[in-house]
Chains A and B, each alone.
Chain A
Amino acid sequence: MVLSAHGLTLGYRGHPVVSDVSLKLAPGDVLAVVGHNGSGKSTLVKTLLGTLPPIAGAIEWPTGRPSTIAYLGQRTEFDTRFPVRLRDLAEMGAWHGLGFTRRIDPAGRARIEAALERTGTADIADMPVHTLSAGQLQRALFARTMVQDAPVILLDEPFTAVDQSTEADLLTLIDDWSAEGRALILVLHDLSAVLRHCTSALLLGRGTALFGVPHTTLTPDNLIEFGYMSASQAEWQELMYRRSGPESAGGPRV
């Protein structure tokens, strides 16, 4: 077990956003966090990172809190105009633990090259960041996450700005990390990706939370109850499902 929490209340300065959050995470687990806007996804992320203390309850790290938690946030505050190359961005993942001035050792160098190779950015590694497309930038940030080499990886809406083929590529990387025994927490909106790649799900909404296996947690009834899906949206899916059948529609089976 990497971390466990029971009956957490999360929020800001005494204003609870979500309560009764319980979850468990073991090495190799991929936990999806799903919820409507304002349901407490970002609050949970901050709490897990340790920048926001929980209002009630505590997160337990049975084997100790890892010294690095790899984190890839939403890109709202990312400055793409800073004069660095893609390679430098990946290198930033190796700075933690180096202190102020120590150089990156050969093992770290090898990790950076491997990460560039694995994310498909080795050929464009010398391009300035401001010339990258959204998909290329996200690949670079996945490379940085890979270089961090952390036992726990936290990704906040990693596929929001990227196209489907990039998303598919990056999802294979998530599968690899899970196979390597790292524990992952993903904030995701792509529910079919959750069903295919995640081992557990935490549904947040209307001030409360539900934790379990994706297939039993993210049912249409639960999604409506937790305010993630509107009743009319569910009805639309139901109508589509009846008219054409799941196979020919090619849609997700929810």
Chain B
Amino acid sequence: MSARTKRIEATRRARAFVILSTLLAAFLSYPALAANPTSEVNTTGLAVTDDTVTVGILHSVTGTMAISETGSVQAEKLAIKQINDMGGVLGRKIEVIQEDGASDWPTFAEKSKKLLVKDKVAAVFGCWTSASRKAVLPVFEQYDGMLYYPTFYEGLEQSPNVIYTGQEATQQIIAGIDWVVREKGAKTFYLLGSDYIWPRTSNKIARKHIEKLGLKVVGEEYYPLGHTQFNSVINKIKLRKPDVIYAIVVGGSNVAFYKQLKAAGIDLASDKWTLLTISVTEDEILGIGGENIEGAYAAMKYFQSLPNPNNQAFVKAFKEMWGDEIVIGDVTQAAYLGPWLWKAAVEKAGSFDIPKIREASPGIELETAPEGYVRIHENHHLWSKTRIGLAKEDGQYEVVYETDELMEPDPFPAGYQ
């Protein structure tokens, strides 16, 4: 072998060595090249891999509550799909495990345990009634999970393991009553509700506020859930002639109440009667029928008809995914916020770990919410605006008022408990 060929051979070896070692170095350093190695963003053994993260959806899709919870499931799935289309959370696609609470509170507890212990989901979007939330709360606190709860509710709760994306009672009630007093000159109120914790607590807050304003409650009463005959109370309302009928009737009773109100000649669209409700969203109007509730006012944070561009895009995407016929109520929108708020918290924390998400959550803002800007309060509820909608015959609300400022969530209002 000549000296020349030896030299060529040596160069070849050297070159091969350089290429090999470069490859090796690249291989060894690969995890450091990825922005968020799984070992760093997930230190507690959640279901997070290099390119996926698993979350749970826990609502009733069978049983009595399916009527209300279906919209929330649809909203959460839409949000998750949109987040995945944008590249997921910390570069990981969201995968969903959906469980059915079947309108049965022990089932909710059992399924939430399954999601947290067996599936090790990074977050759960779910529950609707307060009863189901109360049933899963001990499970979430024991196994340190994170629940995003969408329904407007009675307040009097704050858990490190729950983010409440709906309004608590004071946010919905106080602004509504102030508005009706200012705009309609209301002096007397008749409070009416279904007989369980949410209407009773809400009416307690309403009564306190009404009396603080120096005005009068001329009647307050409750009917069992599922009550279908409201003629007697309608007669009482006619006798007392309140300036405002304040109604928190829920479920099937709602339909009976508004149909019978209309049939008894109480025309909500006339100047003679004003009705303010916090329990009828566009979803419920489907069952009640727009012609029966036309002219009623509702205090909510969201209406499908909100004219802002965020909402227009949201409604369009929702209808594309779930069909043109569908309507979107307040809770459905609140459910849509859940996955987005979780994404923002994960990104702010740079981690899927529950304690880090909890720490990161307060102060998180969402500019893109369909209802407009929202922010998470220290107490895990949302700062959001309250709006008044006027029910129209086509089943939609026309927004007639919104608060200038975001309403501060106050789940434990002093003197109201």
Whether A associates with B in a native complex is no
